[in-house]
Structure formats: structure tokens, C-alpha cells
Structure 1
Amino acid sequence: MGLPDPSTLSRRDYLRALVAAGGTAALAACVDAPGDTSVPAGDPTERPPRQHAWNGVLRADDDGNPQSPEHHVLLALELSATITQETREQVEMALRSLESAYAYDPAGLLFTVGYTSSYFERVGSDSPVPEPETMTTLESPEFDDFDAIVHLASDNPEVVLEAEEALFGEVSPNGAKMDATFEGVFERGEPRRTGFIGPGLPAEHTDMPEVPDSIPEDAPFFMGFRSGFAESQAPESRVTIQEGPYSGGTTTHIESLTLQLETWFEQDNHFQRVAKLFSPEHAMDERVGEIGKKLERETGVAGEIAERTEQDARELGTVGHAQKAARERDEDGAPPLLRRDFNTTDNGTPGVHFLAHQRRIADFARVRQAMAGEDIAGEGVGKRLNNGILQYVFVRRRGNFIIPPRDNRALPAD
């Protein structure tokens, strides 16, 4: 991918495009871009035992909903060495070098390291996560079969680019020394995925053919609404594995989606979009507002609205995406998934990398199947038509990962 032309883009969009391009040339251009690039240094001892424990340092919006960092890279890795004590120490030293270079917060660097079932097959160990598979009859995705993944996240685009290059010995992160790198242990794999989240960022992509001008100016997601409401997110403790060699870790499912935004915005009006994303009741009662600010901290779909899903399908001919998913909440009403998804324009197409942490991959599967709503298709809604947002969302890839606790993140083989 070539570097973007800064004269044709806003500063924000230019930096986002550099993250998507990747590499040392993109990093150099990012460093040269106007603006404050000072980044706080870190201390590995300040990082918690759980890799996925980000909530304590995330910003919150005006309603108290946690806000993910603005820039993201999903770095695929292929194992190229035999696992020994020396290679484990090398990987751990590389990761600790990043932790020393960048503060443990969105102004610095947040990251996780995860492993696939392919990795465990390669090293001759039983995998704690299953191989990825199709989850509905509406999809035919590719699967992540590389060995490991690093999720890099920061409010600073320079940080995610620099951290990626530092892992392979190309640069010094934030002026700090890398005591070790991934060289000789991991090679870069495919696909490299990138993305962004933040108010106004989706609307800056209306120059793309598939992104209509009608996206609300302040929307943080391509679908035009806020997401990640505090009440709809599992607590970090709920998604943490409680026993066994990966106790203190979690599992991650990454679902890469393509969005059909022109149909979503140009065919449907705001009432229909609210009904399909949240529920018909939300639309009729005007509960949401233009981009979801009226909801404050909770979607309000749990309980009665979720229980009316089949009835709404039969009587109203529409059901909401959030309404369907809420049917699989725990008995106490808590959601089982902690989502950290983000927008993407990978391959020049608007989409979402839907990243979810959960205690077991089976937890994700049951929620995803509830979202698909195949059990209500033919009961007033179709397999896609008026069945939540299925008419506008298409699955490209799936991957399952174990995210070990921090003290077991370097080439686990339990």
C-alpha cells in the first residue's frame, strides 16, 4: 500500500491512513506530521496480571461509558523457531521493552498477545480454544490459521506504528532500547488489520464510494450510532478464565465484517435504523436520539424487550440486533462478552473488526447465533430482511485466540 497524500486529507484522516499503510515509511511520515507527538514512558511493574485489563485506564465519555483507544493494529504472526527457554525469554523481553517504552494508558500503549489453535497444533499441545468455524448459514468466511496475534491500541497513531516496527527491530520505541525483538522467533503473517474509533472519524470517510454523506457528523461508528454502552459490556472479571493453566487470561474472537452502508443510510430512515439496530420499541418511543446519546449508559434491551423478540418478529415484522443478542445474557442480566471492536477501511471498504473477549469461545458462539436470529426467520422476518442488521453486515473472517495471563504470554505450551 502506498502512502497517502497529506494535501488531500484532514490531519486525522491522514494519520489513520498511515496506520493502515504500516511500515517504517508510514512511521516516518507520521512522525513528520504536525502536532504534539510526546508520549509518556512506562513501567512494566505497573501493568496488571491480566493482559485484557484495560478498563481501569480507559477514558470515559460524558455518561461514563469506557472509550477504546482511537487507533488499532491487529498484527498476525507466524512462528519460525522451536520453543525453548531462550525463545520464551526473548519474546518476553521484547514485550517488556514495549512496556518500558510506553505508559500503560491510551496515551501510551495498550496491547494483548494471543495464540490460535494452529499454534498449539504446531507445538504439540492441546489447544485451549477450538478451531474457528462458521457460526451461521449466512456466511462463508476465511479463518485465521496463523500462530499468534498482537493487538496494539493507542490514541497516538505513531505509537501503534512504532511498536509494531520495534517488535521486529526496525526502530527504537519512544527513544527506548529494545532488549530483545521477535526476530528469529516470529515472522509477520497475514492479514495485517487496522482500524479506528472516535466521534467524527467515520464521517471523514465519505470520499470512499461505499460511504454515504448521510453518516452523522459526530457518530463514532460507521453504522451511525454509539456503541459499547457500559451496561451492555461484560465486566473484565466475567470474561476472565477462573481455573487451569490460563487462569487470569481470557479468550478472544475476532470477526471481520464488511458493511453495506449505502443501503443502510439511503434506503432506511432513522426510525428504521433504530428499530433494526436496537428494537422496534426504541424507535416507536424515540429512546435513542440521533446517534444514541439519549441512551446514556444502557441500551435498555435486556429483560422485557429481549423476551419480546419472537413476538415483535411476528407482529411488527422487525427485530433489533441488540434485542436479539440480549436473549443470551446471563441469568443476572449481565452480558457475557466484553467488546473492543473498531471501524476499518482495510482493502478500501468500510467495515468493522468485531473483537470480543469472553471466558469461553462457546460464550461468543451462543451470543452470535442469537444475533443471527435464524430461529425466528420465517416468523415475520426473513433470514436477513428486517432481522436486525443482517441485511447490511457480511462476515469475511473469523479467528479464535487464547489470551494468556501476562506471566504466561510468551510462547505458552501448557
Structure 2
Amino acid sequence: MTGSGPRSGPARGLSRRAFVRTAVAIGGASALSACLGREEVDVPQADLAPEERPDRQHAWNEFLSTDDHGNVRPPEHHLLLGLEYVSDGPTDEERAQFADALESLERAYRYGNDGLVLTVGYGPAYFDRFDEDLPESVDLPEPEPLTRIEDPELDAFDALVHLASDHGQVVLSAEEALTGELDAVNDVDVEATVEGIFEVADRRPGFFGEGLPAEKQAGVTGIPDTEPVPEDSPMFMGFKSGFDRNQASEDRVTIAEGPFAGGTTTHLSKIELRLQQWYEQDSRDQRVAKMFCPAHASEDRVEGAGHNLGTASGVEDCIDDAEDDARTTGIVGHAQKAGRAREDGDPIILRRDFNSTDDDRAGLHFLAHQRSIADFVKTREAMTGSDLTDGAVGPVNNNGILQYISVTRRANYLVPPRQHRALPTPQPE
């Protein structure tokens, strides 16, 4: 199990927000009890029956909060559970059991930031147990290294559950309910669990939100004390992400045909961040240029973490300049490069990544939805920017943020539509 180490009680002497994040990272009954005592909120029960929720599991945006500019605001607390299938099935009885377990959570919590949003996906290892293949409309290859310089561990979990809420007690309660540790959540009876079907093989907690990385950075490896994370940043690298116009729509990432129409795919990378040089040796202008593009730095377009940019990062204006910037200035921006993977001017992946402090190291769980894994690979290749380095001035040291990130794990999953989310076959009726 990776992540947060022994499941013991959370540390004392922390702010409420830091205390709750610590509890989520630790997990277990004692952490949940402490979290319930510290949050002191009334979490709303469901206002939609499970069958009334969108058939697309990834259809979160309509139900999530937005910031002052209209960008979707992701939940504050996240938990990824890597599951191993431990039975000889799958059988119809197991499908009914897993469906009841998920629907118990959906009856207990409202769909949104103040309640619970979740997805369930299945990896290639799950589908390998069947004689039949996935339909041609589903692109779900085994994960693999995507650059010459990375050597990640390739996950082979059967399933991935993503739980997210603004309240730490909700993701902890949902986890405990699924694994059979609670008989009721939010005053709603738990009808079933994953016992006998799945075992939790991997647990990855995380968080997202303005000010949270700055509050969490103390004692985290890789962040210099002399140049801390800015207070207004939702991410460890000091800038806002998830601009509405720089995200693919939920429609764009939805599988359009075949038995899994209405589903999507998930790519998940675990990334370690190396921020010593990022904050201590690079100037702010250099960080802006490498994160966005050189024009953003030279024209002073970014204030603070970039909230002033509104609903778009503004790199649309400098995407076509990537090759020239690399050749003449020796700097090309991360968002500038990734923007080259657009189709008809629109992004092709929907990011739902969040911060990590697994093993007390600054990191990122990069989670993206896309219609096919090929869309993610295309975006990653554009972001890597290998085609821009020939003839550039200092291409290695100034190629976006590549030198500050290290991919340690990769995984791919199929997220079926709701009707097939409980132990599907490769060719569901």
C-alpha cells in the first residue's frame, strides 16, 4: 500500500483544514472519528435517487461549485482506491452486491462538492480474465512509459474508485462503508460492501484548493523553506490550473459508440515534484514563462497564481510561437506545448488532478478523462515537446516543467456508463 503510512490518529496542534487533510491521509476508524469531531458540518443527504443521476459517471461539472469566473471548482478532498478482484466470478450476485454498495453511498450524500462525487473504472487486468475482447470503440491499452527519461511502475489494479468531497468525513465514511467498517453513513443504512469481491491494494489521498498547498508545505520534502508556495495557489507549483476554456468538455471525453457509449477512459499518473530549483533558483518570470509561455512573462500577464486570467490561461495566443520561442529564447511553456494537441481549437482531455503529499513528498496525482487513451498520449507527447528541442537554445533546462517532474506510476482505466459500472463484461448486453 502506498500513500500515508500507518493508519493511526491524526496529529494535534493543526488548523482545522490541515487536521482534516491529515485524517484523510491516514484513514481508518480513528481518523474518521477525529474528523467528524473537528469538521462539525451537516452533510446533506441525496436529493437525487441513484437512478436519477447522470448515466455518465464522469458528469460532475453540472453539480460542482464554480469560482468567481465560472471555472469549475474541484472538491477539496480526494481519495483513490486501487482495488484487486479476489473472487472467481464476476457473477450476477457480485454485480448486484457492488451496485448496492455504490448506491448506498449515493443515497447517503448529495451529488456535488458538499456531498460526494465518485467514479469507478476498470483496468486492462480486469478485462484480461474474460475470453472476449473489449469493443473496437474502447481504447484501453496497458500503461507504458511515455518518454525516454521515465521508468514508472505500471499499475495493474483491477479497478479504481475515485471519491471526492469538500468534507474529509465524507470520503473517509465512504471508504469505511465500502470496505465493511460502517453499518450506516450520514444516517443512511449501508446495504452492501465490496467484501468478498475486492480488496483495497492501494490508497492515494490528496487535496485541491486555494491556500491548501501553502498550508501543507511544512515538513514536505522538495519545497524550500526560503521560497514557500504562494498563499493563493491551489497547486504546489504556484499557479492555478483547470481553466474552463483549457479543459475538454465532458461531451468531448465521452465514448460515443458501442456498448460503453456514455463512458470515458481515465489515465492516472503519480508524479513527484522537484521544487527546490523551481522556487529558489528560478525567478518568478522564469516560472511564468515555463508554466505558461514566454510572452506571459515578458508582458506581465499573470498576477499571483493566475486567478486574474479568468476562464482561460491565454496560451492560445502563443501556441503557434512554440517552435520560434524554443529556438530564439530557449524557453517554451508547459501549457504552450500541451495546447498543440487541441483538435478544432479545443482541448481533448479533461483534467481532474490534485495535490499529493504521499511519503511526505510534494507530488501530484494527475488524473485525466478522455475519449480514448490515445488522446492522452497525444497530449503528453505535445507537452513533452521533443520535436521542439532540436536547434533550441538550452532546450533541456527550459523545456516547460519537464525537469521538475518525475512520473513514478502510470495506469489506464475504462470508466463505464452507470448502467455497466458494477463488474462489467467486455461486451455487456
Taking structure 2 as the reference length, what is the TM-score of the superposition? 0.93
- Provide the secondary structure at the position in 2 that maps to 1:407: helix
- 1:70 matches 2:71: no
2:172 corresponds in structure 1 to: 161
1:318 corresponds in structure 2 to: 331
**Cα separation, partners in 2 of 1:263 and 1:79, compared to 1, 3 Å:** same
Aligned 8 A contact 2:8 2:28 in 1: no
- 1:16 matches 2:21: yes
- 2:206 pairs with one of 195, 204, 221: 195
1:15-414 alignment, distance < 5 Å: 15-33=20-38, 35-42=39-46, 43-81=49-87, 82-127=89-134, 128=138, 129-171=140-182, 172-190=184-202, 192-208=203-219, 209-213=221-225, 214-302=228-316, 304-331=317-344, 333-381=345-393, 384-413=396-425, 414=427
Mean Cα deviation higher: 390-399 or 213-222: 213-222
Aligned 8 A contact 1:373 1:383 in 2: no
Aligned 8 A contact 1:74 1:193 in 2: yes
* C-alpha distance in structure 1 between counterparts of 2:7 and 2:53, whole Å: 36
- Provide the secondary structure at the position in 2 that maps to 1:352: strand
Amino acid of the structure 2 residue aligned with 1:334:
D
- Cα deviation code 1:14-59 (max 9, x no counterpart): 11011111112211121122x3231111131331110000000111
Aligned 8 A contact 1:4 1:14 in 2: no
Aligned 8 A contact 2:232 2:304 in 1: no
Mean Cα deviation higher: 104-113 or 199-208: 199-208
Amino acid of the structure 2 residue aligned with 1:223:
M
* C-alpha distance in structure 2 between counterparts of 1:348 and 1:99, whole Å: 32
- Provide the secondary structure at the position in 1 that maps to 2:162: strand
Shift of 1:294: 2.2
- Provide the secondary structure at the position in 2 that maps to 1:8: coil
- Provide the secondary structure at the position in 2 that maps to 1:375: helix
* C-alpha distance in structure 1 between counterparts of 2:86 and 2:168, whole Å: 28
Shift of 1:290: 1.3
* C-alpha distance in structure 1 between counterparts of 2:10 and 2:197, whole Å: 35
* C-alpha distance in structure 2 between counterparts of 1:80 and 1:124, whole Å: 18
* C-alpha distance in structure 2 between counterparts of 1:46 and 1:270, whole Å: 48
CA RMSD of aligned residues (A): 1.3
- 1:7 pairs with one of 5, 9, 12: 12
* C-alpha distance in structure 2 between counterparts of 1:204 and 1:16, whole Å: 11
* C-alpha distance in structure 1 between counterparts of 2:281 and 2:357, whole Å: 22
Structure 2: give runs of 5+ residues left out of the alignment. 1-5
The number of equivalent residue pairs is 410
Structure 1: give runs of 5+ residues left out of the alignment. none
Amino acid of the structure 1 residue aligned with 2:311:
R
- Cα deviation code 1:352-411 (max 9, x no counterpart): 101000000000001001111111223325564100001111101110000000000000
* C-alpha distance in structure 1 between counterparts of 2:256 and 2:194, whole Å: 30
Percent of residue pairs bearing the same amino acid type: 53
